[in-house]
């Protein structure tokens, strides 16, 4: 099961090998569904009050730092003093039946696709439980089977600026690891997965809980940690946006690295080791050294 065991057999390029554990695969898909429902139902909830504030309070008479609104025939996003016209997408858009809506996010971005704060909340809180419980189980499981310590924890060597720079350069040239090297996470993957797992996901749960008046009573430190309920709501939205950014880059990398093989490895666990390109020089020389040891 452990990746190291597979590595010991020195699989050749072209071989179909074990790549992802069942714990990783199960959580990946459960979490993927939960996150998508949470993002889209979250936009439904946001549409009920498409304004964000800093501090403890914030309502229509107060000044938001971000708002999505409309004026005449124009929809716009305003951040601080800057207004960006977003007609057709945000603030003013056409519903499937042709009617004009002046809600913030459009029907195709929200669950449900019609405006219902109540339904958005039903979806959001049901999937929040799935998201939190499966996330905690994955944390426990992956510390337990040492997936995090072995596969995600960067080595000191990997954290050297030179190594990171090399990795950025390879990514920029779309040169992906081939052969057995493709079985290991590279440093950019490790860092982004660690940031998502241990920064973004906990942050979005805690800021979500800070919006709950009952949780603020149970854990008043939440309010101090995030600087008030409205600040927590703002951070919740920003972190959601960062998670969307992660998903976009993640999907782009899957497509570039070979979508069939990548998706298969996340479903069945099996991954076909990519063959080296004809002109490919070793992508990461230090990895070859590790192999030689």
Partner 1 sequence: MSKLITTRRKLIAGIGSSVLLAGCDSWSRSDRVKNILASAEGLTMRAQRLVTDRNALAREYTMADLSPSFRANGSRTADSVEGSEYQAMLANGFADFRLRVDGLVSRPLSLSLADLRAMPSRTQITRHDCVEGWSAIGQWKGTPLSRVLDLAGLRDNANYIVFHCADTLGRQNRPYYESIDLIDAFHPQTILAYDMNGAAVPERHGAPIRARVERQLGYKHAKFVMRLEAVASLDGIYGGKGGYWEDVGDYAWYAGI
* 255 is a site residue for partner 1 (CB under 8 A): no
The distance of closest approach from Cβ of residue 289 to partner 1 in the complex, given in angstroms and rounded to an integer, is 35
Are the C-beta atoms of residues 117 and 80 closer than 8 Å to each other? no
The Cβ of residue 28 has, within 10 Å, a number of other Cβ atoms equal to 15
Site mask for partner 1 (CB under 8 A), range 257-286, x = bound: ---x--xx----------------------
* 19 is a site residue for partner 1 (CB under 8 A): no
Q: Which of 213, 278, 279, 293 binds partner 1 (CB under 8 A)?
A: 213
The Cβ of residue 91 has, within 10 Å, a number of other Cβ atoms equal to 26
Helix (H, G, I), strand (E, B) or coil at 87: coil
Stretch that binds partner 1, among 12-20, 48-56, 186-194, 273-281 (CB under 8 A): 48-56
Q: Which of 229, 243, 262, 283 binds partner 1 (CB under 8 A)?
A: 229
* 45 is a site residue for partner 1 (CB under 8 A): yes
What is the C-alpha to C-alpha distance for residues 29 and 275, in angstroms, rounded to an integer? Answer: 28
Number of residues this chain uses to bind partner 1 (CB under 8 A): 49
What is the C-alpha to C-alpha distance for residues 116 and 125, in angstroms, rounded to an integer? Answer: 14
> Closer CB to partner 1, residue 111 or residue 203?
111
What is the C-alpha to C-alpha distance for residues 108 and 250, in angstroms, rounded to an integer? Answer: 21
Are the C-beta atoms of residues 222 and 216 closer than 8 Å to each other? yes
* 60 is a site residue for partner 1 (CB under 8 A): yes
Rg, Å, the chain Cα set: 22
* 125 is a site residue for partner 1 (CB under 8 A): yes
- Give the residue from 242, 210, 237, 209 showing the smallest Cα distance to 47: 237
Stretch that binds partner 1, among 5-13, 52-60, 74-82, 181-189 (CB under 8 A): 52-60
Question: For 113, which DSSP code?
Answer: S
Site residues (CB under 8 A) for partner 1? 36-37, 40, 45-46, 48-49, 51, 56-62, 108, 111-114, 116-119, 121-123, 125-126, 128-129, 209, 211-220, 223, 229-230, 233, 260, 263-264
């Amino acid at each position: 099961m452990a990746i190291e065991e597979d590595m010991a057999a020195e699989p050749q390029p072209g071989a179909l090998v074990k790549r992802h554990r069942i714990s990783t695969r199960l959580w990946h898909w459960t979490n993927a569904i939960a996150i998508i429902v949470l993002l889209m139902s979250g936009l439904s909830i946001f549409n009920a009050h498409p304004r964000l504030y800093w501090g403890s309070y914030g309502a229509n008479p107060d000044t938001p730092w971000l708002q999505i609104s409309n004026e005449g025939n124009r929809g716009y996003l305003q951040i601080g003093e800057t207004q960006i016209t977003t007609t057709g997408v945000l603030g003013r858009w056409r519903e499937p039946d042709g009617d004009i809506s002046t809600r913030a996010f459009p029907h195709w971005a929200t669950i449900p696709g019609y405006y219902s704060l109540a339904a958005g909340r039903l979806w959001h809180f049901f999937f929040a439980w799935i998201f939190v419980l499966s996330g905690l189980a994955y944390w426990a499981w992956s510390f337990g089977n040492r997936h995090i310590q072995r596969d995600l924890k960067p080595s000191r060597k990997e954290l050297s600026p030179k190594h990171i720079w090399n990795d950025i350069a390879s990514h920029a040239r779309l040169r992906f690891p081939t052969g057995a090297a493709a079985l290991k996470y590279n440093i950019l993957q490790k860092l982004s997965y660690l940031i998502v797992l241990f920064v973004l996901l906990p942050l979005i749960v805690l800021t979500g809980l800070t919006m709950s008046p009952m949780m603020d009573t149970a854990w008043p430190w939440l309010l101090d940690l995030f600087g008030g309920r409205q600040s927590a709501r703002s951070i919740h939205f920003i972190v959601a946006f960062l998670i969307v950014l992660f998903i976009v880059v993640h999907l782009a990398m899957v497509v570039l690295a070979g979508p069939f093989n990548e998706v298969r490895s996340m479903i069945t666990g099996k991954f076909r080791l990519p063959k080296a390109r004809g002109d490919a020089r070793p992508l990461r020389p230090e990895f070859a050294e590790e192999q030689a040891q």
